[in-house]
Structures are given as C-alpha cells and as structure tokens.
Structure 1
Amino acid sequence: MNKTRAQFSSRFGFLMAAAGAAVGLGNVWSFPSMAANNGGGAFLLLYVVMAFVLAYPALMAELTLGRHAQSGVIQAMSRVGGSGTAGRLGAAIGGLAILTACLGQAFYAIVTGWLIGFTVTPLLDVLGLDAWATIFGEGGFWKDWWLACAAMLVTVAVVLAGVNKGIERWSKRLMPLLIVLMLVLIGVVMTLPGAAQGLVAYLVPDVSRIDGQLVVDAMGQAFFSLSIGVGAMVIYGSYLSRDAHLPRTGAQVMFIDMGVAFIAGMLIVPAMFVADELGVGIFDASGQLQSSTTLLFDVMPAMFDALGGLGTGLEILFFALLSIAALTSMFPVLEVPVATLAETGRVSRTWATLLMGGLIFAVSTLILMHFEVLFGLAIQVTISYNMPLIGALVCLYVGWLLSRNAKLQELRRGAPEIEQGLFWKLWPWYIRFVCPVLPLVVLVNSL
C-alpha cells in the first residue's frame, strides 16, 4: 500500500465529495423530466426501489475495490485479476473506464459552459452591462468554446489543489450551497400559480404507467446518478479512511444522492406547471413534455421571462444551482485519469492534471467543431453503452475474483461486526449473480 496516499480528512468531507460526484445534471435535469413523463410518483417510487436493488450494491463494489487496492481503477482491476489473462483484461476494463471518464468530461464541460453562460447573462443585464450580456446571450462556436474553457479551468484549478485542499474543500462548500439554493427556489416557485398541481403530479403515483420499460428506465437513472462505471467511486474509495464503515458510508452517499434528486423534482416539476400556467408551451396534447432536452435552455428561461423582475432573480439562482451541480460532478471525473497517470510515478500530479485537463479540453473543442455529429454520439457512447458495461464488469471482478475473505477483511476494518449482519449475508452473493446482469439489461435496452 502507498503510505503517502491522499485521504479525505473527515467523513463529512468524503460524503460531500462523493455526493458531488453523484449529484449532477442527471439529478436536476434528467430525473425530473423522466418523472414528469412517466407517471410522476410512479417513477419516483421505482427509482427508490432500483437505487436499493442496483445502485447501492454496485456502489459498494466500487468503493470496496478502491479501498482494498488503494489505487485507481486500472491498477485495482489488474490486481484483482492477478498476473494472468484476467489481470490484463482487468487493466483493459480500467482503461476503458478512464477513456469513458475523459469522453464524458469533454461533453460535460460544454454543457457546464452553457449553464455558466445562462447564469452570467441575466446577471450582466441586471448590472447594466448590456453589450456583454448580448455577447453571452448569442450562440456560436467561440462563445461555447470560451465557456467550456472556463468550466474546464475551474475544474483543473480545484484538482490541482489536491484531494483535501481542492476537491474536499470545495465540495464541502458547494454541496450545502446547492441544497440551500434548491430549497430557496422551491419556496418561491410554490407560491406561483400552477405549482400545487405540479407537486401533486410529482408526488402522487399513477400506477397505470408502471410497465417493464419504466422499470428499466428507473434502473438506468438510479445507476447513472451515482456516477458508477467511470472509476470515480473507485478512486474515492481509495481515498477513504480504512476505519470508515463502508456499508454505512455507501448508504449515506446513496441517500444524499436520492434526496437531491427528490428535491430537484420538487423544484423542476412544479416549475413546469407554472410555465404551462403562464402560457409557455411545455406539454403536448397527450400531456408529455414537448422536449425534455430543451427544458433547461428554452422552457425555463421562457418561464423566467414571463415572471418579469422576479423571474430575473430566479433565473440567476436557478442556473447558478445547475452550474454548481455540474462542476461538483466534473471534479471527480478529472481526478480519475489524473490519479491514474500520477500513480505511474512518471509525472507529478501537477503535470498529470495539466496534461489530462488539456487533452480533455482538446476533445471538447473537437466536439464543438463537429457538434451535430459528435455531441450526441459522445453522450450515447458514455452513458448508454460504456457506463453500464463497465459497471457490470466491475461487479463481476469484485464478486468472483476478489476473494470472499479479502472482501470480508476490507469491510471488517470499519465494521468488525459486519459478518453477523444482513449486508454480508446478501451482498457477496448479490454482486456475483444479480448485480452484473442488471446494468446489462440497461445496456441492451439502450441498443
């Protein structure tokens, strides 16, 4: 074990960093949209079930793997596989996770840049800087390029500062701020006409909408929302104290992620109905969203415009919230390739951060240059194909190749009584036979 390896300074620091990795646009954008289109409370109920059925066991596999190996995903998978073919295949799976993290970071930087732009534009209007507001409000390659560059520079700066002074410090500041902003916005939105109807639609299950496809959709949402399949939770597990109670800590991360998704739904779904009440076109004749992809960048700004002066303040807060959610997800994804490169001993962490940040931003630039072809493809390859495949393979390796005794000893470090509990009686069997299959169901459904 590397005795000088970085470590989170407190459990709260780890929880905020891990929650930052898990909480992102999937919680604030995708989850409310899917709930609005799929029976509201029915989707919410299935999402909670699937979080326990799939997301939590898979999260525990990645955290256990990282803390056991005390390394990033390539070395961790290689060590578990051993010196033969399984070890080489494990390293290749880890390499695929690194590539997936880099590709995901590349398109995520573009989206985060858009969110920063939507935050800054109304703020410039309020400050009377009309010329600058016009520049930020216009589309085009160079505006998107500079905004993506800004998002990437912030991420590089945080990762450069290290695990404690960078990722942990800023996660402890930004995650509570994100939750406070959500609660403030919910309080304001719930005073507007149409919000109560939206809250009912969100919380009351329409059980007639429950079918096999909805189950798979909820499974995919629960899986992706915890950032499983890119190596982020493996590297964070390696930074976690050896005395930490792994099952309890993993459950806390999952509950924070679920809680933020739930709160986001209480904000976004009522806001949709407020927009509809204000005459902003949002639902089609069948009651479905006209386009969930344009919800954030077309529908929500139109709603804020219809609210006048109040809307301007809400718009700034809303997109600031989204920018924070996006940035806290970018920190761990960059940490994945940076830590892997630094572990080789060939380059310092500083140079690894600068090199990987530059390479990822070069991919972002390429995506922007060929946006119509590459942007959707990058999202599809990352989220629909690679993440469920890698998640399934990690579960297979931890389930079958990391010995039962090694898993037990790792869990015992922070939970001496673990062998007597229900978790240990179910989890080793579950990640062998059940957990690898469920992400593959999500993958096949995407295909």
Structure 2
Amino acid sequence: MRESFHTRLGFILAAAGSAVGLGNIWGFPTQVANHGGGAFLLVYLVVIFVLAIPALYSEMLIGHHGRANPVRSLAKLSEGKAQPVGATMGFLNVIGSCLMLSFYHIVAGWMVVHALGYVASWLGLNVVADFLMTGSLTRDLLFTALFLCTTGWVVLQGIENGIERWSKRLMPTLVVLLVGLIIYMGTLAGASDGFQVYLVPDFSQLTDPAIYLAAMGQAFFSLSIGLGGMMIYGSYLLPGAKLGKLSLSVAGLDTLIAFLAGLLIIPALYAGIELGVNVTNGDELIGEGQLIFAVLPQLFASMGAVGPFVGFAFFTLLSIAALTSTIAQAEVPVSYLIEEKNLNRKKATLLALATIAILAFSLVIFFEPLFGWVVTAVTQFQLPISGIFYLLVVGWLWHKSNHLHTIAQGSFWLTALRWHLRYICPVLMTLVFINTAF
C-alpha cells in the first residue's frame, strides 16, 4: 500500500516546510532590499496569487492524479506523443533534485557550523570555534556528511512517521525562533528605519519593470516549484483532497514566513548601519551569501555578550529551514527508486543519499569550477523550464479525466482559472525564465 499523509495539517506543514528554505530567509529579504522595499513586498503579494499559487496547484495536481513519482506521473498525464517528453522531464526532475540537494547540503552544513561556532565561542572553546568558523575542506566534508545523514534519517522513517512527524516539530520551532529574533532586533537602534523601508511602500517604485520580474521569480522559487517535490507530496494525499484550499494554505504559510524573514533581516541591516557595520556593495545592500556569512556575523559581534546567543538562534533558524527543504526534496529520488526500481524504502534512501553524497563531496573538493555552475543550472534553467512544462501538461497535454477541465464546467471562476493556467501563467513563467537565465 502506498504511503500517505495522515493529517491535513501534517501535509500543510510538510509542504510549506519544503517551500520554506534558505531562499525565504536570505533570498526574499535581499530582493526586498534591492527592489524598492515596501513596493516590492506589495508586488510580491499580488504575484503570489497571479503566478505562484496557480503553478503550485498545477504541480500538486499532476502528482495527485498521477499517484506516483514525477517520471511516471508526467508520462501518464502527458498523453499521446508527448508521453516520452513527460517521462524525460520527470527523469530530469529526479536528476535535478539530486543536484540541488548536493549544493543545498553544503550550504546547510555551513549553517550548522556557524550555529555550533557561536556555542563554542560562548563556552570559551576558542580552538573549536576557530575550526568551525574558518572554512576548510575537512570542515565542509564533515558537516555536509552530517546534514546528509540527518536528512536520510528522517526520510528513512517514511511519510507519516518521518517527514510528517518532523515537519510538525520543526515548523513551529522555526516560527518561534523567527518571531523571537524579530522582537529582539526591533529593540536595536536603527531598526525602526528598517521597518519603515519594509512596510511603507514608495509607490513611485511601481513604475520600475524590474520589480515585477524580480517578484515573479522570487514568488516562483520561494514555493519550491519545479523539481517535483510538491508533485510527490501531492501524490501522497488521499483521494478527494481539496487541492485548491491546500495550495492556498501552503502558499499562505510560506508567504507568512517570508514576510517574517523580511521583518527580521531588513531591520537588522539598518541596525547594522547604526552600529557601523558596512552593509552596502556599491548602490545596493549586500545580499544572500555575503549577507549571511559576513554582514550579520559582524552585527552579532557588535552586540556584546548577547551576540553569541542571537547568532546561535539565527543560524539554528536557518538550519531548520534547510532541513525542512532537504527532507522534502530527497523524497523525489527515493520515491523514484521505490516505484521504478522496486527497492524498499531503506535501500532506496541509502542509494539516493549515497548518490547525493558523491555529488556533494565532489562540489566541496572542486568547489570553484563546479559549485556555481551547478547552482546556476538548477535554479536559473531547470526550475523555470520545469514550471513551464507543468503548466503545459495541466493546460494542454492532459485531456482524459482532466480534473481542472471537469470541475470548470458551469463555473465562471474555475473556467477563468483554467484559461489563466493555459494562457497567462505559461507566458509569465517564460518571462521569469528569460529574466533569470539571460
């Protein structure tokens, strides 16, 4: 009997956990900071409804009706001559998941390293702290392997006892840490300027086309669409699940956490300015990797005795966000091996994680030539191309028993949704692809 989620809440937390990752905590605030502050936030909230939720719904719909891994689901619903294309895209989802997990586990390992580094510093273990905070081949291999083992341990326990159970524990912890850090940052001098930039839109910024393209890209990427993770989660839903409401719930929780991340990071940047920390690179605020591993640690160091505690809480937050994403995406190759190669879950998990480990260790060892290339290939090319294909499957290639076509009969709003998915969303996704890739 195929596994399934035990509760609706469990699915929502697991799916939102898949979406909530490092992109929410560092990617979204960076986009906000460099694309008009509150104006970007306003556009982003609109784009979530216009593009991200329909794309999320499409991916979940394919999985729910395919009732299988991405290879089988996309081949089944891409009817006629398109079946080989569907199977190929599904297989690329499996490969893409492994590639994404290879670099994601490296970055996740850095998060754990920094969290433990603050603990070692607070305890006065200076040698240990120096080892943890200083990049080295040994450190990166060790903590990449540690995070891989953690992901594998959760996935090995299955959907209900592993992914669902741990999502119910990790997601509330993540929210509590996030809210606690926001409250503390709000007490720092300069933070009020950050809140104003973030929450009060400058409507003159809305004339800049770059805001709309950036918002569409961030909204799409923030919901973890394009590598089959949401598809495989949709396949584990019981028949008759209300995908529309579930899509709204997942997108709502993911957007809430992205919004909270902005409430944390943007005021933190302005608090850093007040403390004399350099947070700019030319005309733009420093973002993403440099923000997390250079700017914010300087801010924590400026806080005196409380700094190590804030640093530990922040990097623990990022570690949890990373884990909720890795356990979701790892299910893609695991489900493929179970269903297509007839392996049991234990063997499938071990084989999938061993493959990811080989890729990850290769990236650590040959970091300079490989890491950036793999990140670019997955995030700028495969994700948007897969998103476009999912929309084409739902809108054009899937005819027999097409759920969306059936329920749209006689309903103006559902008919409008179907036409939106067929015509508007593929065009918007193509614009996202062109903008990110070229």
Task: With the length of structure 2 as denominator, give the TM-score of the two structures.
Answer: 0.96
Alignment counterpart, residue 364 of structure 2, candidates 368, 385, 388: 368
What is residue 73 of structure 2 aligned with on the other side?
Answer: 76
TM-score where L is the length of structure 1: 0.94
Q: Cα distance, 1:124 vs. partner? A: 1.6
User: Equivalents in 1 of 2:166, 2:315: separation in Å?
Assistant: 18
Does residue 255 of structure 2 align to residue 258 of structure 1?
yes
**Which residue of the other structure, out of 422, 429, 433, is the alignment partner of 1:432?**
422
Deviation at 1:422, TM superposition (A): 5.3
| One-letter amino acid of the structure 2 residue matched with residue 253 of structure 1 | V
Distance 1:99 1:422 in 2: 39
Structure-2 change in CA distance of 1:187 and 1:420 (3 Å):
farther
Query: Structure 1 residue 140 and structure 2 residue 136: aligned?
Result: yes
Q: State how far apart, in whole Å, the 1-side matches of 2:172 and 2:270 are.
A: 27
Residue 47 of structure 2: aligned partner: 50
1:139 to partner: Cα distance? 1.1
Query: Secondary structure at 2:88's aligned position in 1?
Result: helix
Shift in Å at residue 399 of structure 1?
Answer: 1.0
| 1:286-435 paired onto structure 2 within 5 Å | 286=283, 288-403=284-399, 405-408=401-404, 423-435=413-425
Q: Which amino acid aligns with 1:63?
A: M
2:224 aligned counterpart, secondary structure? coil
Query: Shift in Å at residue 419 of structure 1?
Result: 5.6
Q: Is the 8 A contact 1:384 1:443 kept in 2?
A: yes
The answer to whether 1:231 aligns with 2:224 is: no
Q: What secondary structure is seen at the aligned counterpart in 2 of 1:373?
A: helix
| 2:8 pairs with 1:11 | yes
Kindly state the Cα deviation for residue 248 of structure 1 after the two structures are TM-superposed.
0.7
Cα offset, 1:243, TM superposition = 3.1
Does structure 2 retain, via aligned residues, the 8 Å contact 1:62–1:394? yes
1:433 positional shift: 1.3
- 2:94 maps to a residue whose letter is I
Runs of 5+ in structure 2 lacking a partner?
Answer: none
Equivalent positions of 1:143-292 (< 5 A) are 143-210=139-206, 211-284=208-281, 286=283, 288-292=284-288
| Contact in 2 for aligned 1:404/1:428 (Cα 8 Å) | no
How far off is 1:76 after superposition? Answer: 0.5
Whether contact under 8 Å (1:103, 1:382) holds in the other structure is yes
- Which residue is equivalent to 1:415? none
Report the aligned-residue RMSD.
1.6
Select between 270-279 and 136-145 the one with higher mean Cα deviation: 136-145
Q: CA deviation at 1:126?
A: 2.0
Which ranges of structure 1 fall in alignment gaps of 5 or more residues?
A: 413-417
User: Closer, same or farther in 2 for the Cα pair 1:194/1:86, shift >3 Å?
Assistant: same
AA aligned to 1:104 is M
8 Å CA contact 2:38–2:198 kept in 1: the answer is yes
- In 2, Cα distance between the equivalents of 1:215 and 1:408? 28
Correspondence 1:39 to 2:29 = no
* 1:61 equivalent in structure 2: 58
Distance in 1 separating the partners of 2:335 and 2:401: 28
Is the CA contact 1:159–1:331 (under 8 Å) kept in the aligned structure 2? yes
Partner of 2:117: 121
80 and 292 in structure 1: CA distance in 2 versus 1, 3 angstrom threshold: closer
Question: Partners in 2 of 1:350 and 1:283 — Cα distance?
Answer: 48
What whole-Å deviation, never above 9, does each CA across 1:68-106 have from its counterpart, x for those lacking one? Answer: 111111101111123x43111100011111111111111
AA aligned to 1:169 is: R
For residues 246 and 101 of structure 1, the distance between their equivalents in structure 2, rounded to whole angstroms, comes to: 23
Tell me the distance in 2 between the aligned counterparts of 1:121 and 1:421: 57
Distance 2:342 2:260 in 1: 44
Against the structure 1 CA distance between its residues 423 and 97, is the aligned structure 2 distance closer, same or farther, given a 3 Å change threshold?
A: farther
- Give the whole-Å Cα distance in 1 for the aligned partners of 2:229 and 2:78: 20
Equivalents in 2 of 1:46, 1:196: separation in Å?
A: 22
